[in-house]
Amino acid sequence: MSVATENPGSETRSILAPTGNRVRVVEEQRRKREILSKSVEKPKRVISQTPPKPGGGGGASVTVVRNNVSAESSSDSSSCNGSTVKTVKSVGSKRRIVKNSNGVVKPAKIVPDGVEALAISPMVPVPVKRCDWITLNSEPLYTSFHDEEWGVPVHDDMKLFELLVLSQALAELTWPAILSKRETFRKLFDDFDSSSVAKFDEKKLMSMKMNGNTLLSEPKLRAIVENAKQLLKIQQEFGSFSNYCWRFVNHKPLKSGFRYSRQVPARTPKSELISKDLMRRGFCCVGPTIVYSFMQVAGIVNDHLTTCFRYNECSMDVKMNSTPRLEKTEAIREAMETTTCTPNESQLHEP
């Protein structure tokens, strides 16, 4: 029996596997290729998308860089339902491409430079909810009056006298008609300076009637002049007409809280009390309905509907000064000297 001798220079022969040497050699070669491919950096993979133009021609290409982002673009990624969404926005471009991990490319959106897509989402204007008596057909002047003046607390005596005169005019005119002639009212009554209106004599009233500038009837004009005289007396007694009016509500506006316009009353027990006191002091044409209209427009009562956007605004940050302001100006003294009526004890007595 002969023994095989090993040749030192010969290559060791691989042991045969059940399927032969071919399978093992192929697996080793594939493993080496994988290791080699990991050590070498893969080149950047670029996907180019050219959105078509309406005419069928080509458009400007938009480049999306995967794996690495080029220096000329910025990217951000977010995760949604387990899939990663990658957003790439090119600098200086107005197109935006969004691509998720599933390889689905969303249509490009045109956005301004440096502005995210959410910032330019279409905004639908929401109509402002006002009181029911303000409709789409209301005059702009009337709507502005509702939004800016009606229900706002007023503490200026000249402004209060103006609102009282306009409330008295409601017996013959409507708010839109009064507001359209407001400047005429101010010229007619010297910007509602009570000390000046109190000096109107018979000649002045007749001249107003002869010139055709009379917006109100003659009895209403005489009532306004008489009310101006009585207002001067209230200013001397209470310091201001504002203090007199606001003391009936403890210097805080009343909040009605009505939801529907049909719930708003034409008169209240409070307006009846003020009306009675005004008439006792010599005021004319100051019935409970007129007084309540005056309380509404002067903000003494907030009758904006709860569904109106002005309801909370008129009640917000209301700061009142309950201390009477003892202002006895020379104009009031001069006007008092021209009046022939003197207050009696019942007029000076506070209810």
67: left (phi over 0), alpha (psi -120 to 50) or beta: left
**Pairing verdict, β 83-90 and 73-80:** antiparallel
Task: Write down the domain spans for the chain.
Answer: 75-124, 140-348
What's the predicted TM-score (pTM) here?
0.57
Nearest to 256 by CA among 305, 210, 192: 305
Q: Is there a binding annotation on residue 251?
A: no
Helix (H) or strand (E) holding 328: none
Q: Is 77:85 a contact under the CB 8 Å cutoff?
A: yes
As a whole number of angstroms, the distance between CA 30 and CA 24 comes to: 10
As a whole number of angstroms, the distance between CA 98 and CA 86 comes to: 6
Q: Is there a binding annotation on residue 80?
A: no
Q: Is there a binding annotation on residue 349?
A: no
- The CATH code for residues 140-348 is 1.10.340.30
Q: Is there a binding annotation on residue 341?
A: no
Written as tens digits, the pLDDT of the chain (351 aa) is 444 444 554 444 545 545 555 556 677 788 888 887 776 555 555 444 455 555 544 444 444 444 444 444 444 544 444 444 444 444 444 455 555 555 555 555 555 555 554 444 455 566 789 999 999 899 999 999 999 999 999 999 999 999 999 999 998 899 999 999 999 899 989 999 999 999 999 888 888 776 655 678 888 999 999 999 999 999 999 999 999 999 999 999 999 899 999 999 999 999 999 999 999 999 999 999 999 999 999 999 999 999 999 998 887 745 444 333 334 444 545 555 554 443 443 333 443
